[in-house]
Amino acid sequence: METAYLHLADGTSLVGTAFGYHGEARGEVVFSTAMTGYDQSLTDPSFANQILVFTYPLVGNYGVARPQFNDKHLLANFESEKIWASGVVLSSLPELPSHYQSEVSFADWLTVHKIPGIARIDTRALTIKLRAHGVLAGTISRSQKRPHSFATPFQYSDVSCTTEITYKSKPANAPHIALIDCGVKHGIVRQLLRLGFTVTRVPWNVNPLDVGKFGAVVVSNGPGDPKDWGETIASIKKIITKKIPLLGICLGHQLLSLAIGADTYKLKYGHRGVNQPVQDEKTRKCYITSQNHGFAVATKTIPSTFDRWFTNLNDGTNEGISHDQARIWSTQFHPEGEPGPFDTTFVFSRLLSGHSRASGNLYK
């Protein structure tokens, strides 16, 4: 098999075995501690422009299933229609996948989607390096020569839909909600449909209240620095004044926080995996959650009128805010939990709750 190299911006070059697409990948090198769900992780738009290091040694062992559609624009078993991560790093590469649903090997799947990979890398040592140093820009290449630049220009808005898409729930009188698409995981749409909502998905730079009348708004996950999503933040500010239920997830949590006057900052190496513990500050109950983010909300900057809803038990970072009276909630983790546990799906039910409308100044 052909040799490949993982060149890091700090001057390190790691040697491994090439697999997947014969090409070069550039991006921010990040790691995930997930033990399953590699196909869902790679199709998560939040991984756009990132080279994903899997710490679990058995990635690709159950192959990749045929895409299954619930709707023309909604997949049942992946988080989007394509792989968004720019490259993949593994410790080993199973050559014979074993699963009754497997249609194609992991390596062939990457080849079809034009995603380069490198295997036989000491991912444990690489992860320790990233934890100590922080995330690094990197390049996967079949050339030993290091690149002159690690710049990875990318339009994060490319992860969003470009026109409205409506998913109808079976009840004719189903409550109709808007979903601002900043790179939404299809699992979020599936969960909203399971609850009986009709969902209209709108582009990241569209205020849904300019499109139609909705009973609630959800702001999705997505990639990049939340401060780069200025048009979405402006829409959220307008939505808040209308006093309708609002739920932010992952990037949506960060955008909501910026809209109410809080601040965000870049984490040293982020939280990525399906085993992140968070605690509900109201009930003191702990949940194991699915997460994928590189930024966090600065807890001390959250306005006093909002409750600190969840806290990450690994590092104490904020994992959610709430204002029950105003019917505004957000979580940094992914309550739809695919891949991952499902014990936080109750978060979505808040959109159906009957809390009284907001009053007073939310920005105090």
- CATH code of the domain in which 250 resides: 3.40.50.880
Q: Say if residue 192 is in the same domain as residue 292.
A: yes
The per-residue pLDDT for range 126-160, each reduced to its tens digit, is: 999 999 999 999 999 999 999 998 888 888 889 99
Cα 20 from Cα 1, distance rounded (Å) = 11
Where does a domain end: 141, 173, 195?
Answer: 141
Domain limits for position 321: 159-352
Residue 151 is assigned to a structural domain of this protein: no
311 and 71 Cβ atoms separated by less than 8 Å: no
Query: Which of 28, 79, 336, 338 is the catalytic position?
Result: 336
Residue 238 is assigned to a structural domain of this protein: yes
The per-residue pLDDT for range 172-223, each reduced to its tens digit, is: 789 999 999 999 999 999 999 999 999 999 999 999 999 999 999 999 999 9
Q: Say if residue 90 is in the same domain as residue 219.
A: no
CA separation (Å) from 235 to 204, 232, 359?
A: 9, 5, 20
Q: Say if residue 109 is in the same domain as residue 208.
A: no
Residue 354's pLDDT is what?
A: 42
Residue 364 is assigned to a structural domain of this protein: no
Find the mean pLDDT for residues 333-359. 76
The per-residue pLDDT for range 302-326, each reduced to its tens digit, is: 999 999 999 999 999 999 999 999 9
Is 182 marked active-site? no
Residue 209 is assigned to a structural domain of this protein: yes
Q: Say if residue 208 is in the same domain as residue 112.
A: no
* pLDDT exceeds cutoff 90 at 301: yes
Q: Say if residue 112 is in the same domain as residue 216.
A: no
Is 148 marked active-site? no
Across the chain, what does the average pLDDT equal?
94
The pair of structure tokens assigned to 102 is: 């497997």
Is 336 marked active-site? yes
Q: Say if residue 110 is in the same domain as residue 182.
A: no
Residue 96: Cβ-neighbour burial (10 angstroms; 0-12, 13-18, 19+) = exposed
Q: Say if residue 125 is in the same domain as residue 24.
A: yes
**Size of the chain, expressed as the number of residues it contains:** 364
* pLDDT exceeds cutoff 50 at 355: no
Where does a domain end: 74, 107, 141?
Answer: 141
Residue 148 is assigned to a structural domain of this protein: no
Cα 202 from Cα 166, distance rounded (Å) = 9
Alpha-carbon 342 to chain mean position: 16
Q: Say if residue 24 is in the same domain as residue 62.
A: yes
Residue 278 is assigned to a structural domain of this protein: yes
In total, how many domains does the chain have? 2
Find the mean pLDDT for residues 327-345. 90
Query: Which of 7, 253, 271, 334 is the catalytic position?
Result: 334
Q: Say if residue 25 is in the same domain as residue 171.
A: no
Residue 123's pLDDT is what?
A: 98
Residue 153 is assigned to a structural domain of this protein: no
Q: Say if residue 183 is in the same domain as residue 257.
A: yes
- 3-class state of residue 274 by DSSP: strand
**Model-wide pTM > 0.85:** yes
Cα 44 from Cα 156, distance rounded (Å) = 13
259 and 279 Cβ atoms separated by less than 8 Å: no
The pair of structure tokens assigned to 163 is: 């026109």
> How many CA within 13 A on the CB side of residue 174?
19
The pair of structure tokens assigned to 206 is: 């569209």
Residue 361's pLDDT is what?
A: 43
The per-residue pLDDT for range 4-37, each reduced to its tens digit, is: 999 999 999 999 999 999 999 999 999 999 999 9
* pLDDT exceeds cutoff 90 at 364: no
- CATH code at 128? 3.50.30.20
Q: Say if residue 87 is in the same domain as residue 131.
A: yes
Residue 44's pLDDT is what?
A: 97
The amino acid present at 191, given as its one-letter code, is Q
Residue 166 is assigned to a structural domain of this protein: yes
* pLDDT exceeds cutoff 60 at 363: no
Query: Which of 7, 182, 186, 250 is the catalytic position?
Result: 250
Q: Say if residue 102 is in the same domain as residue 199.
A: no
